[in-house]
Amino acid sequence: MKLLRYGEAGREKPGLIDAGGALRDLSGVVADIAGETLLPENLAKLRAIDPASLPRVDGGPRLGACVGSVGKFVCVGLNYSDHAAESGMAIPTEPVLFMKATSAICGPNDDVEIPLGAEKTDWEVELGVVIGRPAKYVSDQDALSHVAGYCVVNDVSERAFQLERGGTWDKGKGCDTFGPIGPWLVTTDEIADPQKLAMWLDVDGRRYQMGSTSTMIFGVAHLVAYISRFMSLQPGDIISTGTPPGVGLGQKPPVYLRAGQVMRLAIDGLGEQRQTTIPARK
């Protein structure tokens, strides 16, 4: 299934995409695409519904983040060796973890704000993993059974805040609008292998990133298991799994975002995002 949330920001309704690509309203069935809705038994109930029996939504409404009420937004840094190299950092021997503020989450086509005082705002197309079953101290072998599905994430980053202002990376990762998610949450039954997904990102029509999840240092199963050693994962939590090479920081010379530019990014089977950059609003 392709599950989504649509409508005015803060008042999104749940929906799904039917086989013909039409948006169907799920608000008469579930309150939101969030929390317990993502448990395996509840996804099975949604899967059993005939989409044709649901109201059709026309008119191209705004899409919100494909998951609501996210409890944790866990990110993995330097998870592609060639991205680590372009960033001038060592290849990690264990996953590098940081948290992205849930207040950064926005819709897949919402504007992205360039923060006040920003100097080096950057892009990162990433595979997002949405937890569907609580996970604590799970094994690599069992980890994928705790996943509800996958989505596209743009891990927007302000490199000067992240790398030049002391402390952890979080201050350069958690700015408002720095976490576009969606357009859809695609359930695991539609993704045969999360380690065989092509991905790309363009800025103003120029392709900067083109890669594949096959080149991750640490695969999805290991990441879910590893993170579950340090914190319990709950339905609706999101793991953003790292980016392939081609970020602005890695260009020679580096290239960074400015207001008025357009980012487009996609992952095979998971849909496409499009954001325009604007100056931050106070």
Q: What is the pLDDT of residues 31-85, one digit of tens each?
A: 999 999 999 999 999 999 999 999 999 999 999 999 999 999 999 999 998 787 8
Mean pLDDT of 137-159: 98
Confidence of residue 94 (pLDDT cuts 50, 70, 90): very high
Does residue 127 sit within a domain? yes
Range of the domain at 181: 68-279
Of 15, 12, 14, 16, whose CA–CA distance to 2 is shortest? Answer: 16
Q: What are residue 233's DSSP bridge partners? A: 135
Tokens of 57: 């939504």
Report the 10 Å Cβ neighbour count for 195: 13
The sign of the torsion formed by the CA atoms of 31, 34, 36, 37 equals: positive
Q: What is the pLDDT of residue 115?
A: 97
Does residue 29 sit within a domain? no
Q: What is the pLDDT of residue 88?
A: 82
Does residue 24 sit within a domain? no
Q: What is the pLDDT of residue 281?
A: 85
Does residue 181 sit within a domain? yes
Confidence of residue 90 (pLDDT cuts 50, 70, 90): confident
Does residue 236 sit within a domain? yes
At a CB cut-off of 8 Å and minimum separation 6, what does 176 contact? 103, 104, 106, 113, 115, 280
| CA distances in angstroms from 201 to 25, 43, 256, listed in the order given | 30, 30, 14
Residues 188 and 147 sit within 8 Å (Cβ to Cβ): yes
Of 65, 173, 123, 64, whose CA–CA distance to 276 is shortest? Answer: 123
Phi, psi of 46 (to 5 degrees): -65, -40
- pLDDT more than 70, % of the chain: 100
CATH of the domain at 233: 3.90.850.10
Does residue 251 sit within a domain? yes
Q: What is the pLDDT of residue 17?
A: 98
Does residue 4 sit within a domain? no
**DSSP code per residue over 229-252:** TTS-B-TT-EEE----S--GGGSS
**Nearest-angstrom CA–CA distance, 36 and 223:** 22
Q: What is the pTM of this model?
A: 0.97
| CA distances in angstroms from 69 to 22, 59, 104, listed in the order given | 25, 26, 12
Q: What are residue 3's DSSP bridge partners? A: 16, 185
Give how many domains the chain has, as a whole number: 1
Q: What's the whole-number average pLDDT of the chain?
A: 96
Residues 161 and 122 sit within 8 Å (Cβ to Cβ): no
Q: What is the residue type of 216?
A: M
pLDDT at 89 exceeding the cut of 80:
no
Residue pLDDT, tens place only, 196-252: 999 999 999 999 999 999 999 999 999 999 999 999 999 999 999 999 999 999 999
Phi, psi of 6 (to 5 degrees): -135, 155
**Nearest-angstrom CA–CA distance, 94 and 142:** 19
Most confident of 87-96, 162-171, 182-191: 182-191
Does residue 56 sit within a domain? no
Residue pLDDT, tens place only, 188-212: 999 999 999 999 999 999 999 999 9
Peptide bond into 244 cis (omega under 30): no
Phi, psi of 64 (to 5 degrees): -90, 180
Secondary structure of 128-165 as H, E, C letters: EEEECCCECCCCHHHHHHHEEEEEEEECCEEHHHHHHC
- pLDDT more than 90, % of the chain: 93
